[in-house]
Amino acid sequence: MWEWILIFVVVIALVIIVALFFSYYNRIITLSNRIDNAWAQIEVQLKKRADLVPNLVETVKGYMAHEKKAIEMVTKARERMMGAQTVKDKMDAGVELAAAMKTIFALAENYPNLRASENFKLLQEQLDGIESKIAYARQFYNDSVLAYNNAITTFPGRWFAKRMGRTELKLYFEAAEKERTVPKVTF
């Protein structure tokens, strides 16, 4: 009789441990996938911003012909962006491109006709939108990283993560807050 109770208890305990393992395994994988997805969302927005460049150059060229340097800078930054392969390259190129585009919009202050053109206004709204989307996508990325890091460092998730070989903490986007200030051209 006692043996049966003992076996019963052991079996129940085993079932609970296996169920826990499954649930933690799935949770850690889900959270890790969410980070990949968050990164993909940032990439989409970075690409959209780069795609604005040809249109921007086309619009600006006629008005500010002798600002060749600035225009060249944007085109170069875009090329670098398109060629970037690693995450770090993409991030660096993204920062460079953002700076180059900001320069163009700042220079545009000296050209009232350009500022008044419908095309330019639309471009500006689009850039504003993309910049804030990049900031939001980064925020989601960092939230996802926080959730993942919490899951693999707190108990008992920590114990399961170790068995899964997932002990390495994911890194945050440092520039997140700085990027939230949208380049604003005053009229």
Partner 1 sequence: MQRVSFYDQISKNKRNSVLLVIPITAMVVGLLYLIGYLFAPELAFLMVLFGLFWMAMQAMISYQYGDRAVLSVMKAKPADPVKHVYLINTVEGLSLAAGIPPPKVYVIESEEINAFAVGRDPQHAAVGVTTGALENLNRVELEGVIGHEISHIRNYDIRFMMMIAVFVGFAAILSYLLLRGAFFAGGSRRRDERGGGMAALLILMGLILAVIAPIATRLVQAMISRQREYLADASAVELTRYPEGLASALEKIMNKNSGKMEVSEAISHLFFTDPKRSPLDNLFTTHPPLAERIRRLRQM
Residue whose CB is less far from partner 1, 75 or 126: 126
| Strand positions, DSSP E, 46-111 | none
Residue whose CB is less far from partner 1, 67 or 94: 94
Residue whose CB is less far from partner 1, 75 or 132: 132
Residue whose CB is less far from partner 1, 38 or 71: 38
For residue 64 the two structure tokens come to 């500010």
Q: Please state the closest distance from residue 101 (CB atom) to partner 1, in A.
A: 17
DSSP string covering 108-146: GGG-HHHHH-HHHHHHHHHHHHHHHHHHHHHHHHHHHHH
Q: Please state the closest distance from residue 135 (CB atom) to partner 1, in A.
A: 8
Residues lying near partner 1 in the complex (CB under 8 A) are found at 34, 37-38, 41, 45, 122, 125-126, 128-129, 132-133, 135-137, 139-140, 143-144
d(CA 77, CA 62) in angstroms, rounded, equals 21
